[in-house]
Chain A
Amino acid sequence: MFEYDPVLYSRILTAITLSFHIIFATVGVGAPLMIAIAEWMGIKRNDPHYTLLARRWARGFVVVVAVGVVTGTAIGLQLSLLWPNFMQAAGHTIGLPLFMEVFAFFFEAIFLGIYLYTWDRFKSKMKHFLLVIPVVIGATASAFFITTVNGFMNTPYGFDLVDGVLTNVSPLQAMFNPATPTKVSHVIITCYLTTAFILAAIAAFKLMRGSNHIYHKKALHMTMVTGAVFAIATAAIGDLSGKFLHEYQPEKLAAAEWHFETTSEAPLVLGGVLTEDNEVNYALEIPYALSILAGGTTGEEVIGLNEFPEEELPPLFVHYLFDIMVFIGMYLLLVSVAFVLMNWHNRFNPIKRFNGFSNKMLWAIAAGGPIAMLGTQSGWFFAEIGRQPWIINGVMTVSEAATSSQHVDIMLVLFSILYAILGVTSFIVLRRMFKHYPVEHELVERGIEREGA
């Protein structure tokens, strides 16, 4: 069987913990914004449907946050337990944003507690709405800070390495490293995008299941309009991320695109398989597109894998991860923009006569929820595996960073069980929460609608 290798097990355990955390964290970052928008619309349009939307989302959000918090706590401790050498180096260089993140959590946690328990406590609805703003800020700020840490791992900055010792540290430079602008904005906007689609999927699902209530239609419309905005922004920032890679991590871009020789007028490779001697078969090639992604012009020279020593190259299957992410980005863009146009009543709108609430369209939207989450996952797997063999690019390798402890395998088993339990229970709890208390009942109970309306 396997030989015990703490590095391998640490990597697997980290990957599992992070991919589990990121499911909840993504929604944790996105949901407050969506809740805030819904509550705002409720006030502005004086429409209790939107207020109830905010209220019901907020109830689901707490459960998600709870799992996000505990798995996040797990990561924070686990990073020290599994990667002691990395955390030692990180503490010296990039400890600042890690520390700042805690304050963002604090801020969010305090106001979330207040927000949840004060729905009917103030006379003015506006007052309660104001309480969600710090939650939005706190959630987004935590994504911001943690992503700068990840940016640092990709483009370490703000210190000198003299004989293996880190000196001359500038915490701010480390935090605002070259990866920060694209990485942070891409991560935050995709959190919003993914959440919008997950909430849209719920509404679409309800409508498909025969409910025809205007409440769900309003929810779908709102999530799709915001989703379209986020999808456009995601594609634009994704393009900038490509340009960032071209400049700072050309090996990652080359691996993502199976780009073996440095050339200009490079084509973008979609799909395909790789033969033994690195020939690309069955791929769809878009001429010049890689040069455009990398530099904005067809003439841009894109560095190929041939320029790097073999042992410093990431595994080439990251190509598929990249393709999946980009494909999903296009899909979400298409679906949300189509839905918005179908519901846009303008004389010159060519597709307004299509039914945005047709079953096919609802299906496409409902599928978008899980697909968006898959996009987030594949994006992260691409970003992390594409950095191999480095944990801090060019400074420390993954195997240097790992613990030498003898028991990582047992921990891997224990944590896998834990996440399975948490995953299943949160699914059951969330489902029961909304199934046993459908919106139709709540509308009546709160006196927004009469029975049978």
Chain B
Amino acid sequence: MSYELIGITVLWTFLYGYLIVASIDFGAGFFSYYSRITNNKHKVHHMIQRYLSPVWEVTNVFLVFFFVGIVGFFPDTAYYYGSALLIPGSISIILIALRGSYYAFATYGSKDSHLYTFLYGGTGLLIPASLTTVLTVAVGGYVSVEENHVQLLYGELFTSIYSWSVVALAIVSVLFISGSFMTFYAHKAGDQPALDLLRKYALAWSFPTIIACVIAFFGMNQRNPSHFQNMTDLSWLYGLSVVFFLAAVILIWKRKRYGLAFIFVMLQFATAFFAYGAAHLPYLLYPHLTIYDGVTNDAMAISLIIVFIAGLLLLIPSLYLLMRLFLFDTNYVKGHEADKKA
């Protein structure tokens, strides 16, 4: 495999990781808020807190990893995307900043504030919507590149059906992914009222998700026919994705094997996400930038890959420890340990 391909695969994988962990996190924040205003707070709030508290910072690092990594492997992306995305990028930053800090204020500040919960619940849905602009823009047709000047075409972006369908997809998938994970977590915690509520959320968001997927899939045909062509060449992956989706929904519906159901959800998104990514290649920004002309020099590429491998050797055991202590520790999950925090 060439350095370019290794680089983009690693980055795409981390973006996928972010997609999953951040969706759980964002959706959980939203459910926490939603259950509060519908007077179901006592059912899920504590359980959601228990999951989120030790991991929210780790979630954020996935994102940092991606945007630092892409500048390292493909420095020219800094130039193209950096120049074009000042406003959407800044809006995402502001939302992320509000969310992260108000989460911490609400959790550690030892005051149960309605406003704080609203801020981190509401921003959780806006962040994925604003972050997806990057993916939309990458498809092509939304930026103009003239001599030394890269510009985002706002009119084009805001009036395009495709870009809105991607936004819709982002929001419903967040709720679906999160709902199905939280159902599993509630099941582990043996918390029947929370389980019932979250299972309802998961099922409610499942069909909107698949419909939004289909709309976005065919929307690509209009937007970028060559990309769409590549996607249809990989249609077996998309088909697989639908199968995983159905399997997950059936399991949750029948109240069986919630863990397995969540793995199916992850596979559903993995297949679709990697198929989408593969169809996008070799472009980083259609049609201006490919992974081949945007890549860094060999010396840097090698050293980044070495650091990446060394980093993984450090991270995997640490992540394992984190999961063992908080995700797979029945005592903790059930809340026997939670009162003893800090």
Q: Does B57 contact A (CB under 8 A)?
A: yes
B152 nearest in chain A by CB position: A405
Question: Is A41 interfacial (CB-CB < 8 Å)?
Answer: no
A399 beta carbon closer than 8 Å to chain B: no
A107 in contact (CB, < 8 A): yes
B196 part of interface (Cβ distance < 8 Å): no
Check if B94 sits within 8 Å of A415, measured CB to CB.
Answer: yes
Which range contains the number of A residues in contact with the other chain?
35 or more
Contacts of B193 in A (CB 8 A): none
Residues of A close to B108: CB separation below 8 A: 59, 62-63, 66, 429, 433
Binary CB contact string for chain B from 97 to 108 against chain A (1 if under 8 A, 0 otherwise)? 111111111001
CB-defined contacts of B319 to chain A, threshold 8 Å:
110
Cα A403 to Cα B92 in complex, Å, equals 18
- In the bound complex, how far is the Cα of B54 from the Cα of A112, in angstroms? 8
A63 with B90: in contact, given A105-B64, A106-B315, A432-B111 (CB under 8 Å)?
A: no
Pick from B31-39, B173-181, B234-242, B321-329 the stretch touching chain A.
B321-329
Q: Measured between alpha carbons, how far is A136 from B46 in the docked complex, in Å?
A: 30
Give the shortest distance, in Å, between B263 (CB) and chain A (any CB). Answer: 23
B109 adjacent to A91 (CB under 8 Å): no
Decide: A171 near B54, CB < 8 A? Known: A58-B342, A59-B108, A100-B307: no
Closest Cβ of chain A: how far from B97's Cβ, in Å?
Answer: 4
In the assembled complex, the Cα of A83 lies from the Cα of B78 at a distance in Å of 9
A421 to B101 Cα, complex, angstroms: 10
Determine how close the nearest CB of chain B comes to the CB of A101; give it in whole angstroms. 7
Q: What chain B residues lie within 8 Å of A102 (beta carbons)?
A: 61, 64-65, 68-69, 311
* Residues A90 and B75 in contact, CB atoms below 8 Å apart: yes
Q: A168-225: which have CB < 8 Å to B?
A: 169-172
Contact A77 B89 (CB under 8 A): yes
- Say if the beta carbon of B254 comes within 8 Å of chain A: no
Q: Quick one: which of A67, A78, A116 contacts B341, CB cutoff 8 A? A: A116
Interface hits, A357-382 → B, CB 8 Å: none
- Quick check: B64 and A429 within 8 Å, CB to CB? no
A286 near B: Cβ within 8 Å?
Answer: no
A449 to B325, CA, bound (A): 31
Chain B residues within an 8 Å CB radius of A271 = none
Q: Which of A56-104 contact B (CB under 8 A)?
A: 58-59, 62-63, 65-67, 69-74, 76-78, 80-85, 87-93, 95-96, 98-103
Interface string of A107-122 (1 = CB under 8 A from B): 1011111101111110
Q: How far is the CB of B298 from the nearest CB of chain A, in Å?
A: 9
By a CB distance below 8 angstroms, the chain A residues around B304 are 95-96, 99
Residues of A contacting B296 in the complex (Cβ-Cβ under 8 angstroms) = 91-92, 95
**Any A CB within 8 A of the CB of B337:** yes
Instruction: Give bound CA distance, A405 to B149, whole Å.
Output: 9
Q: Do B78 and A87 have beta carbons less than 8 Å apart? A: yes
Pairwise interchain contact A170-B299, C-beta atoms closer than 8 A: yes
For A17, give the chain B residue with the smallest CB separation.
Answer: B93
- CB-based contact B315/A411 at 8 Å: no
Q: With a CB–CB cut-off of 8 A, which chain A residues contact B149?
A: 404
Q: Which of B29-58 contact A (CB under 8 A)?
A: 53-55, 57-58
Closest A residue to B80 by beta carbon equals: A84
Q: In the complex, which residues of chain A have a beta carbon less than 8 angstroms from the beta carbon of B73?
A: 91, 95
Given A66-B103, A96-B300, A114-B54, are A91 and B74 also a contact pair (CB < 8 Å)?
yes
Instruction: For residue A99, give the distance in angstroms from its CB to the closest CB of chain B.
Output: 5
How many chain-B residues does the 8 Å CB contact rule pick out?
71
Find A403's partner among B83, B100, B101, B103 (CB 8 Å cutoff): B83
Asked if A418 is at the interface of the complex by the 8 Å CB criterion, the answer is yes
Determine if A436 is an interface residue (Cβ-Cβ < 8 Å).
yes
Contact A111 B76 (CB under 8 A): no
Cα distance, A80 to B89, chains bound together (Å): 10
Residues of chain A contacted by B85 (CB below 8 angstroms)? 81
* Contact status A117-B326, CB under 8 Å: yes
A103/B314 in contact, CB under 8 A: yes
Contact A78 B90 (CB under 8 A): yes
Of A82, A114, A169, which one neighbours B322 at CB under 8 angstroms?
A114
Count of A-B contacts with CB under 8 A?
Answer: 242
State which residues 232-253 of B face A: CB under 8 Å: none
Q: Which residues of B contact A111 (CB under 8 A)?
A: 318
B126 within 8 A of A: no
CA distance in complex: A88, B83 (Å): 11
- Are the CB atoms of B300 and A169 closer together than 8 Å? yes
* Pairwise interchain contact B61-A403, C-beta atoms closer than 8 A: no
CB-CB < 8 A to B111: which residues of A?
429, 432
CB-CB under 8 A for A433 and B110, given A65-B57, A426-B105: yes
Within the complex, the shortest CB–CB distance from B10 to chain A, in Å, comes to 11
Contact B342 A55 (CB under 8 A): yes
Q: Contact: B58 with A113, CB < 8 Å?
A: yes
Which of A72, A88, A109, A411 is within 8 Å of B90, CB to CB?
Answer: A411
**B300:A95 contact, CB within 8 angstroms:** yes
Considering only residues 299-339 of chain B, those with a C-beta below 8 Å from chain A are 299-300, 303-304, 307-308, 311, 314-315, 318-319, 321-322, 325-326, 332, 337
Check B158 for interface membership: any CB of A closer than 8 A.
Answer: no
A422 touches which one: B71, B101, B307, B340 (CB < 8 A)? B101
How far does the Cβ of B118 sit from chain A's closest Cβ, in whole Å?
A: 14
- Which residues of chain B are within 8 angstroms of A100 by Cβ–Cβ distance? 307, 311
Give the Cβ gap from B189 to chain A, nearest Cβ, in Å.
16
Nearest opposing residue in chain B for A403, CB measure: B83
Kindly state whether residue A414 has any CB partner on chain B within 8 Å. yes
User: Which residues of chain B come closer than 8 Å to A99, judged between CB atoms?
Assistant: 68-69, 72, 304, 307-308
Q: Judge whether A353 is part of the interface by a CB distance below 8 angstroms.
A: no
With contacts A113-B54, A432-B111 taken as known, whether A80 is within 8 angstroms of B325 at the C-beta atoms is no
Give A74 to B89 CA distance when docked, in angstroms.
10
Asked if A345 is at the interface of the complex by the 8 Å CB criterion, the answer is no
> Does any Cβ of A come within 8 Å of B86's Cβ?
yes
Q: Provide the A226-259 mask, 1 if CB < 8 A to any CB of B, else 0.
A: 0000000000000000000000000000000000
Identify 16 residue pairs between A and B in the complex whose beta-carbon atoms are under 8 Å apart, listed by A's number. A58-B342, A63-B105, A76-B64, A77-B92, A80-B81, A84-B78, A91-B78, A95-B300, A96-B300, A98-B71, A106-B315, A107-B315, A110-B58, A116-B53, A410-B87, A437-B110
The 3 A-B residue pairs with the shortest CB-CB distance, nearest first, are: A91-B75, A66-B104, A84-B82
Task: Give chain B's interface residues, CB within 8 Å of chain A.
Answer: 53-55, 57-58, 60-61, 63-65, 67-69, 71-76, 78-83, 85-87, 89-90, 92-94, 96-105, 108-111, 148-149, 296-297, 299-300, 303-304, 307-308, 311, 314-315, 318-319, 321-322, 325-326, 332, 337, 340-342
Given A74-B93, A80-B89, A404-B148, 4 new contacts (CB under 8 A): A63-B104, A80-B67, A88-B78, A95-B73
